[in-house]
Amino acid sequence: MGQRSYLQFLAARFTATIGVQMQTVTIGWQVYILAREGRDVKEAALILSMIGLVQFVPVLCLTLLAGQMADHHDRKRIVMIALMVDVLAAATLAILAHYNPMLWPIFVIAGVFGVSRAFMMPAAGSTAPMLVPRELMPRALAWNGLSWQTASIVGPMIGGVLIAISPTHAYLASCSLYLVAIALLSLIRDNTKPARHPGSRWEMVKEGLAYVWREKIVFGAISLDLFAVLLGGATLLLPIFAADVLKVGAEGFGLLRAGPGVGAAGIAIYLAFRPVKRQAGLVMFCGVGVFALATILFGTAKPLTDWLGTPLLALPISLFGLVVLGGADMLSVYVRQTLVQIVTPDAMRGRVTAVSSLFVGASNELGEFESGVVARFLGPVGAAVFGGVGALAVTGLWARLFPALRKADRLM
């Protein structure tokens, strides 16, 4: 296991994540602006929510198969192929944005992007543990989280600036970053192909599902993430808040989209030097609870400041809520990922990571769909508050249903 290979992998993932974040915010902004033409806010919100559903369907259908492949084939090669698909998708989006921006081609390409994610997440998530010793895994995961969150700050901010110029520029920048990530991955010389396993493909998939169900700490951790983010995720609402609630435009949208990453990066830096060592389960539940409360704060910032007669504070309070939200989410994700990676043997990591990715994909993409549907009836502010209250309820329920997870102690 070489430190050089891990750093190359980390750099590749950092670069690719910036590209993904830029592409994601550009798609969200472009779809909402196109959907807003001739429609009211609630109708446009529902159309925007369909992006999440379109990306989730491939994840739902393919992730378990992708997990089996990650436990059977070279994981680095799978990631590189997925990135090549992203290159083609981003280039196509750039051409469409330049010549003839329409909604339906964006939805088709978003589905292709979902296929890529379905295969990339299990392979990438199970590659890092192959490149570092077990005792260094918690710190490596913290640095990996810091890398991801830093990219989540930089990507949306750059994306917001480029969107203001032209969505075409943002898509081309994403395409270039994917190519850089592929080049960095090609430099890794350590073996990233897992040992061969007996049994058919379907038997391996069933074995992975059975393992997750049997290990209640693993199942509780990833299902908590599923339902908390499914209800509390505010990502889809950000273009709506930027354009029609806070009225801060594309640059403000990039700033809002970077807010969660700022908080998460701060917590990731802290965890890289001071990793959680005791009462890990309790720390994770506290993180999810704060995530829910911060979502409520974000949703109520505009009506609250209007009621107090201080509308200029709406944007700073919204940003503060998003920063706290991101930091709390990073804390809970760090504990969950570390617990899952440490408890799971390497022979099962691809499949378990696939199941975890399926749950995470469901929470993100289906969460966006849920937010759009709720926004259709309650409006964007009502949808954010509803999601935060729901996530808070899930936190309390899961703490009661999974006492072993709540009492989980050491990560080291």
Instruction: Parse the chain into domains and list their residue ranges.
Output: 3-189+200-406
Token pair listed for 177:
């970053």
- Residue 358: pLDDT above 70? no
The rounded radius of gyration (Å) of the Cα atoms in the chain is 20
Q: Which of 255, 172, 208, 226 has the alpha carbon at shortest distance from 390? A: 226
Calpha distance 243→160 (Å, rounded): 13
Q: Residue 180 — pLDDT band, cuts 50, 70, 90?
A: very high
Hey, how many other C-beta atoms are within 10 angstroms of the C-beta on 202? 11
Asked if 365 and 53 touch (Cβ cutoff 8 Å), the reply is yes
- Residue 127: pLDDT above 80? no
Calpha distance 195→197 (Å, rounded): 6
Token pair listed for 50:
């369909």
- Residue 365: pLDDT above 60? yes
Name which CATH class applies to 3-189+200-406. Answer: mainly alpha
Calpha distance 232→218 (Å, rounded): 21
Q: DSSP class of residue 193?
A: P
pLDDT tens by residue, 235-290: 778 989 998 999 988 778 878 888 887 888 788 788 878 877 778 888 889 999 99
**Cβ-based neighbours of 271, under 8 Å, separated by 6 or more:** 142, 145, 146, 330, 331, 334
Percent with pLDDT over 70 in the chain: 84
pLDDT tens by residue, 55-112: 888 877 887 777 778 777 788 889 999 999 999 999 999 999 988 888 999 999 999 9
Asked if 308 and 403 touch (Cβ cutoff 8 Å), the reply is no
Hey, how many other C-beta atoms are within 10 angstroms of the C-beta on 83? 24
> 253, exposed or middle or buried, with CB in 10 Å at 0-12, 13-18, 19+?
buried
First and final C-alpha spacing in the chain: 20
Hey, how many other C-beta atoms are within 10 angstroms of the C-beta on 47? 18
- Residue 157: pLDDT above 60? yes
Calpha distance 93→103 (Å, rounded): 11
Tell me how far the alpha carbon of residue 358 is from its chain's centroid.
12
Calpha distance 305→48 (Å, rounded): 27
Q: Which of 174, 52, 203, 184 has the alpha carbon at shortest distance from 124? A: 184
Q: Which of 270, 181, 204, 242 has the alpha carbon at shortest distance from 25? A: 242
Reduced to 3 states (helix: H, G, I; strand: E, B; else coil), residue 72 is coil
- Does this model's pTM top 0.95? My answer is no
pLDDT at 222: 77
Q: Which of 21, 22, 50 has the alpha carbon at shortest distance from 34? A: 50
Output the 3-class SS for 18-32: HHHHHHHHHHHHHHH
pLDDT tens by residue, 8-25: 888 998 999 999 989 988
CA angle 243/246/249 to nearest 5° reads 40
pLDDT at 1: 47
Calpha distance 383→381 (Å, rounded): 5
Query: How far, CA to CA in Å, does 208 sit from each of 66, 232, 240, 349, 361?
Result: 12, 28, 39, 9, 17
What is the rounded average pLDDT of the residues 106-130? 84
Asked if 235 and 155 touch (Cβ cutoff 8 Å), the reply is no
What is the rounded average pLDDT of the residues 45-61? 85
